[in-house]
Amino acid sequence: MGIAPGSHRLGPDNASLVVKTYREGMASKVGHDLVFEVTDWTATLTVGDAPSLELRADPRSLRVRDALHGLKPLSGKDRDEILRNIESKVLGRDEIAFRSRHVASDGDRLTIDGDLTLAGTARPVGAELMAGPDGSAATTIPLTQSEWGIKPYRGLMGALKVRDEVEIVVEARLPVA
């Protein structure tokens, strides 16, 4: 079957883009593993003769969707502080961008290689997007923040840390051929 040829536009109205972070350190029990939803992003996937993928996202549009495994729930003040720290200490205000260099289609699987720009630094990254017979598609991309010059967040005088590796999870429904 496979993904239908053509240009497919993705964004928060028909797909999800989330960032999963995990805590570590001596005080990790007081922190949370966080799931952020990116609320302002757009991607264009082209399948066919000249396959490509381009994505743009506003780092200021991250919102805490879930706070898992902490001792107490996050307050609104906690959530606001987390978002301020992401902007001032982690990602900044520069647009997040991905542009493919190579896209190969193997029926229900797309292998994508390209350049991801985070916090003003571009680095190569690859992903495999798997599509089901109903057009549901998903991928999880592990990223190491320090490879983009991002210093993982630390709190409580370094006793609570965000692990250097985070996961980017994309889920969408694409038209099938």
Structural domain including 71 reads: 6-173
Give the pLDDT confidence score for residue 157 in this predicted structure: 57
User: Domain tally for the chain?
Assistant: 1
Report the CATH number at residue 65.
Answer: 2.40.128.110
Least confident of 31-40, 61-70, 127-136, 156-165: 156-165
Instruction: Look at residue 116 and tell me if it is in a domain.
Output: yes
Instruction: Look at residue 84 and tell me if it is in a domain.
Output: yes
Instruction: Look at residue 55 and tell me if it is in a domain.
Output: yes
Is 3 in contact with 177 (CB distance < 8 Å)?
Answer: yes
Instruction: Look at residue 32 and tell me if it is in a domain.
Output: yes
Average pLDDT score over residue span 92-108: 90
**128 confidence band (pLDDT: 50, 70, 90):** very high
Give the pLDDT confidence score for residue 16 in this predicted structure: 97
Is 31 in contact with 78 (CB distance < 8 Å)?
Answer: no
Give the pLDDT confidence score for residue 20 in this predicted structure: 97
The per-residue pLDDT of the chain, averaged, comes to 89
Report how far apart, in Å, the C-alpha atoms of 127 and of each of 68, 112, 116, 143, 170 are.
26, 5, 11, 11, 10
Instruction: Look at residue 100 and tell me if it is in a domain.
Output: yes
pLDDT in tens, 44-98: 999 888 999 999 999 999 999 988 887 788 888 988 988 888 888 888 889 999 9
Instruction: Look at residue 72 and tell me if it is in a domain.
Output: yes
Separation CA 75–CA 81 (nearest Å): 10
Average pLDDT score over residue span 126-148: 92
Separation CA 47–CA 3 (nearest Å): 7
Instruction: Look at residue 1 and tell me if it is in a domain.
Output: no
Is 170 in contact with 17 (CB distance < 8 Å)?
Answer: yes
